[in-house]
Amino acid sequence: MEPVAATVYPNYDSVGRAILEAFPIIDFLPVWLVALVIMVVVAACAIVFILVFEGVGSLVLRKLAGDIQSRVGPNRVGPYGCIQFLADGVKLILKEDLKPAACDRVLFRLAPYLAFVGSCAGLVVIPFAVGMIAADLDIGIYYVMAVSSLVSIGILLGGWASNNKWSLVGAMRGAAQIVSFEIPVAMSIIPVILVAGSLSTQEIVRSQGGLFGIFNWNLFHNPFLFFSFFVYLTAAQAETCQTPFDLPECESELVQGFMTEYSGIRFGYFFLGEFGELFVVCALATAGYLGGWHIPFLDAGNLGWFWGNLLSLGVFLTKTFTLVLVSMWLRWTLPRTRVDQLMRMCWKYLVPLTFFNLLGVSLWLLIFDGKGIPAMIAALFG
């Protein structure tokens, strides 16, 4: 049996060895140390990226809310309020970190980190560009599904440790909602895995190349996949607790739900985690359905290392940010659902639909020998 590690794309050990060969001055360092340094650098890049995304994303969210609600939005810090997020960040860091007297101290401190780590760990398998991925795990999708359930543990811990009724109710709602919606999210991404024949995110993106880099997207593969994409977006909106489904933290009834007792940077971690999750689900939707980093009318693989990576990164981020914007747009459109409506939607509508989609896609792949509609049309024209 072949070693599984061999299939992981950026093999940090070999990269470390290559660097040691390139720079003989640091030859005395062990390979594992160099590899570790590279890993830390990659992780730092990912964290910096997600923090910037969260800052700018929160500003865009508020500006968009202003536009949609005929207001202006943040407009005091910098021109058009464009550095408001820095002020917010400074405020969050400097604010007093309150702890309720009767809280469970250890769990109370632990919860925000779990939520943050759970949402941002998904970044590891996001295929940013042709050769840009922190680790191309061959169980990529499975990994994301697994680590993102850490968020529900964080929420549950936070609500429980706060020793507050609002927090507890919010946490129970959050846990129930996230656990329920994991199923439609996972089930609506499985058709993509079927088409690509792999769980690796990079492999899924690669399977969508060709046909001008647009028409081989999984979105257009067949009607079931087209439908599945929107089911995924809906379920992802609920899994990340975005507004039509933000029951764990609904302000009007539960103050802030599981975040009621949190302030300062601990609140900030929950907040960042939420945005990180938003990015991860949108990036997964891009990779799974919208052709990932495939550049329209160009082959990213033939552009050379630098331009290929740069252009495909730009394309990937454009697609992802468009989805993020759509998610925010949806967020400011719909009012919050009730708990029973939410659960009903999940169990009675989304779950059966995803199973139906899965069946449909499986049959399609079986009958048409894995070819999508655009590929068949292209075959007609030779």
Partner 1 sequence: MGLREYISDISEAVVTIAKGMRITWKYGVDPKEETTIFYPEERMVMPERTRGFLFNDVARCIVCNMCVKQCPIDCITLESIKGADKKNVLTSYKIDMGRCMHCGLCVEICPPKSLVHTDGYEGSSHTREELIVEFVEDDLATIKARIAAHAAELAKAAKAAEAAGKAPAAPANPAGGEKK
Binding site for partner 1 (CB under 8 A): 64, 67-72, 329-330, 332-334, 349, 353
Question: Phi first, then psi: what are they for 129, rounded to 5°?
Answer: -155, -175
User: Cβ closer to partner 1: 332 or 355?
Assistant: 332
The alpha carbon of residue 112 and the mean position of all alpha carbons in its chain are separated, in whole angstroms, by: 18
CB of 325 to partner 1, least distance (A): 10
Cα 288 to Cα 189: distance, rounded to the nearest angstrom: 7
Cα 347 to Cα 66: distance, rounded to the nearest angstrom: 34
User: Cβ closer to partner 1: 73 or 273?
Assistant: 73
Exposed, middle or buried: residue 140 (CB in 10 Å: 0-12, 13-18, 19+)? buried
Cα 48 to Cα 55: distance, rounded to the nearest angstrom: 11
Is residue 233 a contact partner of residue 289, using CB atoms and an 8 Å limit?
no
User: Cβ closer to partner 1: 72 or 377?
Assistant: 72
CB of 351 to partner 1, least distance (A): 13
User: Cβ closer to partner 1: 255 or 325?
Assistant: 325
State which amino acid sits at residue 40.
V
CB of 73 to partner 1, least distance (A): 9
CB of 174 to partner 1, least distance (A): 23
Read off the tokens for 126.
């996001």
Read off the tokens for 75.
């407009």
Is residue 171 a contact partner of residue 107, using CB atoms and an 8 Å limit?
no
Give how far Cα 195 sits from Cα of 20, 48, 203, 207, 379, Å.
Answer: 40, 33, 11, 8, 18
CB of 85 to partner 1, least distance (A): 20
User: Cβ closer to partner 1: 89 or 184?
Assistant: 184
Closest CA to 58 of 91, 83, 94: 83
Report the chain's C-alpha Rg in angstroms: 22
User: Cβ closer to partner 1: 133 or 185?
Assistant: 185
User: Cβ closer to partner 1: 71 or 165?
Assistant: 71
CB of 75 to partner 1, least distance (A): 8
CB of 61 to partner 1, least distance (A): 12
